[in-house]
Amino acid sequence: MSSTTAPVERPRISACIIAFNEADRIGDCLASLAFCDEIIVVDSHSTDATVAIASAAGARVLQRAFDGFRSQKAFCVAQASHDWVLCLDADERVDDTLRASIQSAQAGGFAGHHGYRFARLSAYFGKFLRHGNAYPDRVMRLFDRRHGGWRGKREIHEAASVDGTVGTLRGDLIHYPYRSLEQQLAKTQRYARMMAEHEFARGKRATLGKLVLAPAWRFWRGWLFRGGFRDGWHGLVYAYVRANYVRQKTIMLWMLQIGQPVADPPRDQPPA
């Protein structure tokens, strides 16, 4: 008597994206997710064509006021029709190798894992950074929401987690994080303030030693010890800017703990 094995049920995937004024980048992001069974975009009331582009691409678009990166992503995941979710930012896209890896794991029913991580490859002013602190920068973005999600209280540098094992997939999540150096500097300063405020609220404190040593260690660890110099001037500039982020965050934490402001107070009247 012969026996047959029942085929593994193929889980459906909901792609979840948050966006704000990403008309120039969201089209490529959505195109790379065409293999997913559903695409949801949570938009923070964009003033450009982001919503129109996403809707035309077949995404289900919801609008919600932004109250933090983690909260926005958690809301997006909660709107999904399927339990397996693939979370991207609008400046990211799935490359061909990663897509094939996801589809292979999906065909096997995602057996054995509740989440999957993969490398993120960032473009930096005309070159992909493949060394230093920039790569492989593995992130867990594919997971079963019944076993985890965007948890915790930190709204900045948020990370998803699951209860259970996490597998690693081949391929890259391609990342286009900066439109210009000015935008990168403004973004890192904003993130430094948000992170300093988060750490201060949790009782973390800066020291004079950290003020001096932490930025230097971030630079030398990434540029020298992890081989960031192999990316040429791109790697050098990236290492300097990331070290400056650590410097800004530590200075802001120090200012907060001595009772000094780190942001302009709101003004009732415009300046004369």
Per-residue pLDDT tens digits for 70-123: 999 999 999 999 999 999 999 999 999 999 999 999 999 999 899 999 999 999
Measure the N-to-C terminal CA separation of the chain; round to a whole number of Å.
91
- Mean per-residue pLDDT for 194-207? 94
Q: Is 240 helix (H, G, I), strand (E, B) or coil?
A: helix
- Per the CB < 8 A criterion, the answer to whether 257 and 197 are in contact is no
DSSP line for 61-95: EEE-----HHHHHHHHHHT-SSSEEEEEETTEEE-
Are 138 and 57 a contacting pair, CB within 8 Å? no
- The span from the CA of 154 to the CA of 161, in Å, is 13
Pairwise CA distance, residues 115 & 160, whole Å: 9
Structure tokens given for 157:
């540098």
Q: What is the CA radius of gyration of the chain?
A: 21
φ, ψ for residue 117 (rounded to 5)? -110, 160
| Domains, in order of start, for the chain | 13-175 (3.90.550.10), 181-257 (no CATH)
Residue 268 pLDDT level (bands cut at 50, 70, 90): low
What value does the mean pLDDT of the chain take?
A: 94
Torsion angle defined by CA atoms of residues 160, 166, 168 and 169, in that order, rounded to the nearest 10 degrees:
-70
The whole-angstrom distance between residue 215's C-alpha and the CA centroid of its chain comes to: 22
Residue 72 is classified by DSSP as H
* pLDDT tens string 215-236: 999 999 999 999 999 999 999 9
Q: pLDDT of 139-156, one tens digit each? A: 999 999 999 999 988 898
Cα separation of 133 and 19, whole Å? 25
